Structure 1
C-alpha cells in the first residue's frame, strides 16, 4: 500500500530552521512552502478513505498548522489523526500521531497531557529513530516545566536511539537551554514511565494463597480480581488471560476476546514471543493451528496456519507445506506462499512505512 503522505512529510523539513529557544518550537524559513504543503494535504484528504491514509494526511496538516502558529487547528487535526490511528491500531501509526498531538498540546501549555502522550508514543514495536524523535519532544516539554534532570534523561535516551541529523539538530539547542537554566536548579525528581503515562494500565500480580493472577492499580490495590490461571501484561490496553482457555480483557476487566483458545502468544521477527497483543493483534492457537485475532476479538486470519509471525508491515504465515507467505493488515495476500521464513521477513522489511516526517 502506498503511503499517501510520505512525500509531504519529507518536504516539510526543507522549510524548517533550528529550534527557537524562547518558544521551544521550530523556526520556519519559508511559511509559503509550509502553507502549500498544508493545502496539498487538504486536497488529498478529500479523496482519502482508509483510517491509515487519513491519519497520515491529518498528521502532516497538523504539523503545518503548528509551524504556521495556528495552534487550535493543529490540535484539532492532531486529535483526529490519533483517532484514525487508534482505529487502524498499528504502532507505526499510533506513535507519531500521539507525538504530534503531544507537541501541539505542549505548545499550548497543556504539559500534563503532552507528557502522557509522549510516554505512550514510546510504547510498542517501533524503529529506534522514531523513539529518539519522540524523546526529544518529551525533553522540550520537560524544559518548559523546568524539569531539567528529566529533560537530560530524555535527551540521553534520544542520543542512544538515533543519529538522525534532524533529531540531533534539535538536541543541541535543547541541551544549551538546559545548562543555561540549570543555574536556577534542576527541578523535580524525574518521573518513571508509568507516572508520565499516568498509569495507563493495571499491573499483573499473583495471589499467594490461590496462585491465581489478577491486576493491581498504581496504588497497589486490586483493580481486577485474581481469577485467572495465567495472565500476560497489558499491551495496547489489552491483556491475555486464561481461565480454562485463553482470551483477553481490557483495563476495566471486560472480556474483549472470548475464552476460546489453547494459546495466545505472539511471535515477533527477532525470535521473541509476547503473551498477548502486538500492534493490536495476537496469534491464537486452536487445536494446534494458528490464527490471528484483533483487540475486539475479530478473527483477521482463521486458525489454520502452522505458524504466524507479526511484523510491522504485515503477517508472515506458514501454510504448513514448508513454505511461507505473508498477509497484509486486512488479511489479504501480500506475498505468495512460496518462500522460506527469512526471505518473507526480509521482503516485509522492505515494505515498512516508517514515519520520517517532523513530529
Structure 2
C-alpha cells in the first residue's frame, strides 16, 4: 500500500514557524511508529499572492483535492489589507473549504489543567472542560444568494442570505451525532428557530434524523443566543454542539477563550469520504498569522501540532497515537515549558517555538 499523503500549506506570518515543528512530529512518527507520510508543500494566502497574484493557485487547489489531508498554518497580514476583496489571503482558505466541500468544521475547546488559570473564567468552571463544536462550513449566510451591497432608494443596502437545504443540514448533523458516539454521547443543536425560518428547518431536520438513526444519542435544542450565555455560565454541561455557519463562527470563538489561549486550539474541516474511505480534510490551528511576532521564535506551535493529532484521529485512524501526542503536549505544559503566550510576567524565560516543539518530541519518546 502507498503511504498516506499530506499537503502542507504553511501560509503567512507564524505559519511557517509552527509548521516546522509539525514537520518534526511527522518525521518522528515515521521513524518511530512506522507511519510514513508522503509530504508535499505549496503556497496559500499572502505567500501565494506574492508568487502568483492569487491567494490560491489552481495547481495547488488540484493538489489539495488529491491528497489524503491538508495541513494549513495561517493566512493574512497587514501587508495585504489594501488588496481587493477577491484576492485577499483569506480567499485562498475559503476556496479550499468550498471546493473541497468541507462541510463539517470541528472545533474542540479543551482546557488543559495546567492552563485553567489562564481562562477568563474561574478555574472550577473550566477545569476539565472538553467540548466539541461542529459548525456547518459551506452554506448559510456566508455563501447564500442573493448577497452584496446595492443601491435602493438612493441609499446603500447590504444583503446576505441565510439559506440551508435539508441535505446540507442532514450531513453536518450526521457528523455531529457520529462524533458524539465517540465522546460523551450528547448533542446540543443550536439555532434561532424562534425568529428564523432557516432555524425552524434546522431543528426539524436534526430532530427527524435523530429519531430515525441516532436515538441512542442524547439530543437537546437551544437557541444560539442562550447557547452563548450558557457557554460562559456552565460550559461543562455540553459535549458536542451542532450549529450553522454564522452561529458556529461566533460560538466557537467564544468557546475558544474558555481554554485560556488561542495558541492551544486546533481545528478540522471534513467533507465526504473519498474513494479510499478517508474524508476530504483540512486541519489548521485556530490562531491567526500573528504578524507582530512572526520570525521571532515566539509563536506557540501547540495548536498546529494538535491539528496534526486531529488528522491522525479523523483521517488516518490513529486514535491511540493522536492521544499520545495530545498527552505529550499536556505533559510539556504541566512541566512548565511554555511559550510567552502561556506565561505570566513573573514565570521566567519563555520557551522558543523550537524549544516547545523539541519538548513535545521528547515527551513522545518517553511513551
Instruction: Report the TM-score when normalising by structure 2.
Output: 0.29
The structure showing larger relative contact order (alpha-carbon pairs under 8 Å, at least 6 residues apart) is 2
Instruction: Report the TM-score when normalising by structure 1.
Output: 0.29
Larger Rg over CA atoms:
1
